[in-house]
Amino acid sequence: MYFGTNFFMKNIILLKVSLVFVILIACKQETLKPYSNNTISAAHPLASLAGKSMFEQGGNAFDAAVAAAFTLAVVEPSMSGIGGRLQAIYQNHLGDIGGIDAATQVPESYITDDKKNAYGYKTIGIPGVVAGLLKLHSENGKLGLIKVMQPAIKFATEGFKLLPGEAIRQKLAREITVKFEGTKTHFLKMDGTSFNAGDIIIQKELANTLNQIALKGKAGFYEGEIAQKMVEDIQSNGGILTLDDLKNYNARDAEILTGLFQGNKIHSLYLPSFGAITIQILQILDNLSKPTSEEEWALDFGEATKIAYTNRKHQEDRDSLSEIISYENAKSIAISIEKGTQKKIAKISNHPPESWTVAMGHTSHLTTADAEGNVVSLTQTIGPNMGSKVATEGLGFLYAVTLGGYLGEFKPGDRSNSHISPTLFTKNNKVILALGAAGGSRIITAVTQVAHRYFSKKQKLYKSIMLPRVYPFEDSLWIENHEGLKSLNAELDPLIFPIKMINEKARFGRVHAVALDTIKNAWIGAADPDWEGTTEYFESP
How many residues would you count in the chain? Answer: 541
Report, in angstroms and rounded to the nearest whole number, the Rg of the chain calculated over CA atoms.
25
d(CA 361, CA 169): 12
Backbone angles phi, psi at 319, to 5 degrees: -65, -40
Report the alpha-carbon distance of residue 468 to residue 302 in Å, rounded: 13
Which residues form the domain of 89? 40-253+362-439
Query: Cα separation of 114 and 122, whole Å?
Result: 13
3-state secondary structure of 214: helix
* Helix, strand, coil abundance in the chain, percent, nearest 5: 40, 20, 40
CA 318 to the chain's CA centroid: 25
> Would you say residue 495 lies in a domain?
no
Cβ-defined contacts of 189-195 (< 8 Å, 24+)? 194/167, 194/170, 195/162, 195/167, 195/170
- Examine residue 110 and state whether it is found in any structural domain, yes or no: yes
pTM (2 d.p.): 0.92
Give Cβ neighbours of residue 230 (< 8 Å, ≥ 6 apart): 241, 246, 392, 395
Instruction: Give domain status of residue 167, yes or no.
Output: yes
Burial label, 93 (beta-carbon count in 10 A; 0-12, 13-18, 19+) = middle
Q: Is residue 475 part of a domain?
A: no
* Nearest one of 236, 226, 193 to 83, comparing CA atoms: 226
Is 22 a member of any domain? no
Tens of pLDDT along the chain (541 residues)?
A: 444 545 444 554 444 444 444 444 344 444 578 999 999 999 999 999 999 999 999 999 999 999 999 999 999 999 999 999 999 999 999 999 999 999 999 999 998 876 778 899 999 999 999 999 999 999 999 999 999 999 999 999 999 999 999 999 999 999 999 999 999 999 999 999 999 999 999 999 999 999 999 999 999 999 999 999 999 999 999 999 999 999 999 999 999 999 999 999 999 999 999 999 999 999 999 999 999 999 999 999 999 999 999 999 999 999 999 999 999 999 999 999 998 733 444 444 556 666 555 655 579 999 999 999 999 999 999 989 999 999 999 999 999 999 987 677 889 999 999 999 999 999 999 999 999 999 999 999 999 999 999 999 999 999 999 999 999 998 899 999 999 999 999 999 888 899 999 999 999 999 999 999 999 999 999 999 999 999 999 998 8
CB-based contacts of 101, cutoff 8 Å, min separation 6 = 87, 132, 251, 252, 253, 254, 255, 269, 272, 273, 415
295 occurs within a structural domain: no
Q: Sign (positive/negative) of CA torsion 73, 465, 488, 361?
A: negative
* 61 within domain boundaries: yes
Answer whether residue 8 is part of any domain: no
Q: Tell me if 282 sits within 8 A of 261, measured CB to CB.
A: yes
Domain total in the chain? 1
* Burial class (CB within 10 angstroms; exposed 0-12, middle 13-18, buried 19+) of 14: exposed
